[in-house]
């Protein structure tokens, strides 16, 4: 497994975290731009924020994200302090999120409020909730995995 | 009046559009980094040399936008790189910049959480580009 190549949009590479090698790994030697972006984003969040690091270390789940308007996706395999990013949807996913690119970006902008719960009453949160109600955001496995989904949201959110 | 793409006049109009945008002003509150756009050469499209657009953006305002060598843009805090024809697709709303970045059609270098936090500002920035009437070198 390798980090995303130089010049990929993520701009962050596994090699950049020399003090913690292998925090985020890529299943493909040439990960997609989307895989590089999500891996880079989560890595940066976790390294910068001890609260997110705690969630990351406790998270064991297989999370699929499919971007409907570019027809690309990834599977994030969290394994208690390690993340492997796969291009495409892998089997046995705990949660699968399907949405357009803009909505995926909104998910990463959800604020985290009291008790570590995502905030759905501000502008970004209301937008996400509305898309969920209209079926423009689908989260398979949501109802049976609410604590996991909240933890993934916290790790994923840049707020 | 239409201006030549990536010319000084284009940069001036682009800056004016950014500073006229209340959406940008509000969405970019707190932004304090320079952004470089590298427009890679495509000689077959009559765009023979790579150019760099350097944007000095601060707290919802475009303090300066200049066009020069690509190397200048590459020194910015955030750098977005794409060939000329991709930028044309973005500026004519044929390609959504967010999708383009997720697909790797536009390559971004810089701190990801920061740029993601300002997604709305960058989308409005794209809208501002699209509002500038442009003479494209591969047309007419």
Task: List, run by run, the mean pLDDT of 10-residue segments along chain A (159 residues).
Answer: 40 42 90 94 94 95 96 96 96 96 90 85 90 93 92 92
Please name the residues between 98 and 157 in chain A that touch chain B, using a CB distance below 8 Å: 101-102, 104-106, 108-109
- A150, A157 contact by CB (below 8 A): no
Nearest CA in chain A to B112: A41
- Check residue A20 and give its pLDDT: 63
Average pLDDT of span B57-82: 97
pLDDT digits (tens, 9 = 90+) for A107-123: 998 988 887 888 888 88
- Domain that residue A131 falls in: 14-156
How large is the ipTM?
Answer: 0.84
- Give the closest-approach CA distance of A60 to chain B in angstroms: 23
Q: Can you spell out the DSSP letters for A57-100?
A: HH-EEEEEEEETTTTEEEEEEEESS-EEEEESPPSS-SEEEEE-
What are phi and psi for residue B56, nearest 5 degrees? -95, 100
In a domain, B64, yes or no: yes
* C-alpha B131: how far from chain center: 12
Domain count within chain B: 1
Q: Is the dihedral of CA B72, B32, A44, B103 positive or negative?
A: negative
Counting the structural domains of chain A, the total is 1
Give the pLDDT band of residue B1 (cuts 50, 70, 90): confident
Domain assignment of residue A117, yes or no: yes
Closest CA to B137 of B1, B3, B16: B3
Residue A1 placed within a domain: no
Which element (helix H / strand E) includes A23? none
State the average pLDDT over residues B7-11.
97
Mean pLDDT of chain B: 95
How many whole angstroms separate alpha carbon B92 and alpha carbon B90?
Answer: 5
Q: Which residues pair with B78 in a beta bridge?
A: B35
Q: Is residue B136 part of a domain?
A: no
Helices (H), chain B: 8-20, 22-27, 70-74, 84-91, 97-102, 112-117, 119-130
- Is B8 part of a structural domain of the chain? yes
Lowest model confidence (mean pLDDT) among A79-83, A115-119, B25-29, B106-110: A115-119
Q: Which tokens is A78 given?
A: 């969290």
Q: Domain range for residue B22?
A: 3-128
Which CATH number goes with the domain that contains B7? Answer: 3.30.1050.10
Q: Which one of B70, B77, B82, B104 would you mutate to disrupt binding with A, by most A Cβ within 10 Å of its Cβ?
A: B104
Mean per-residue pLDDT for B56-82? 97
* Gap from B112 CA to chain A (nearest CA, Å): 6
Domain presence at residue A119 = yes
* Residue that is written with structure tokens 């596994």 in the block: A14
The confidence score (pLDDT) of residue A21 equals 67
Residue A22 is predicted with a pLDDT of: 75
pTM, whole model, 2 decimals?
0.85
Cβ–Cβ gap A48/B113 under 8 Å: yes
Closest C-alpha to B88, from B140, B52, B136: B136
Determine the 3-state secondary structure of B37 from DSSP: strand
* pLDDT at site A68: 95
Annotate B86-110 with b (16+ C-beta within 10 A) or e (fewer). Answer: bbbbbbeeebbbbbbbbbbbbbbbb
Which of A18-27, B23-32, B81-90 has the least mean pLDDT? A18-27
The answer to whether residue B20 sits within a structural domain is yes
Which residues have CB under 8 Å from A123's CB, separation 6+? none
Length of chain A: 159
Residue B134 in any domain: the answer is no
Is position B133 within any domain? no
The answer to whether A42 and A83 have CB atoms below 8 angstroms apart is yes
pLDDT reading at B9 higher than 90: yes
Asked if the structure places residue B137 within a domain, the reply is no
pLDDT winner (highest mean) among A123-132, B10-19, B114-123: B10-19
CATH number at residue A75: 3.30.1050.10
Chain B contact set for A37 (CB, 8 A): 101-102, 112
């Amino acid at each position: 497994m390798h980090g995303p190549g130089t010049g990929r949009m993520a701009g962050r590479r596994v090699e950049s975290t020399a003090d913690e090698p292998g925090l985020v790994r890529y299943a493909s030697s040439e990960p997609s731009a989307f895989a590089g972006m999500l891996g880079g984003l989560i890595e940066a969040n976790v390294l910068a924020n001890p609260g997110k690091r705690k969630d990351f270390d406790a998270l064991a789940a297989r999370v699929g994200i499919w971007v409907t308007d570019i027809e690309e996706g990834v599977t994030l395999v969290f394994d208690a302090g390690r993340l492997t990013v796969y291009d495409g949807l892998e089997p046995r996913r705990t949660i699968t999120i399907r949405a357009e690119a803009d909505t995926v970006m909104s998910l990463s902008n959800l604020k985290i409020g009291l008790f570590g719960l995502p905030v759905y009453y501000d502008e970004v949160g209301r937008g996400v909730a509305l898309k969920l109600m209209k079926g423009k955001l689908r989260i398979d496995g949501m109802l049976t995995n609410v604590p996991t989904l909240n933890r993934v949201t916290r790790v994923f959110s840049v707020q | 009046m239409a201006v030549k793409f990536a010319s000084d006049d284009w940069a001036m109009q682009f800056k004016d559009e950014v500073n006229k945008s209340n959406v940008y002003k509000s969405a970019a509150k707190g932004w304090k980094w320079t952004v470089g756009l590298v427009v890679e050469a495509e000689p077959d499209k009559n765009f023979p040399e790579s150019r760099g657009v350097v944007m000095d953006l601060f707290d919802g305002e475009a303090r300066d936008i200049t066009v020069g060598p690509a190397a200048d843009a590459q020194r910015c805090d955030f750098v977005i790189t794409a060939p000329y024809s991709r930028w044309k697709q973005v500026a004519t709303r044929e390609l959504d910049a967010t999708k383009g970045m997720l697909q790797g059609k536009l390559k971004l270098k810089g701190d990801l959480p920061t740029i993601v936090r300002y997604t709305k500002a960058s989308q409005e920035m794209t809208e501002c580009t699209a509002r500038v009437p442009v003479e494209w070198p591969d047309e007419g």
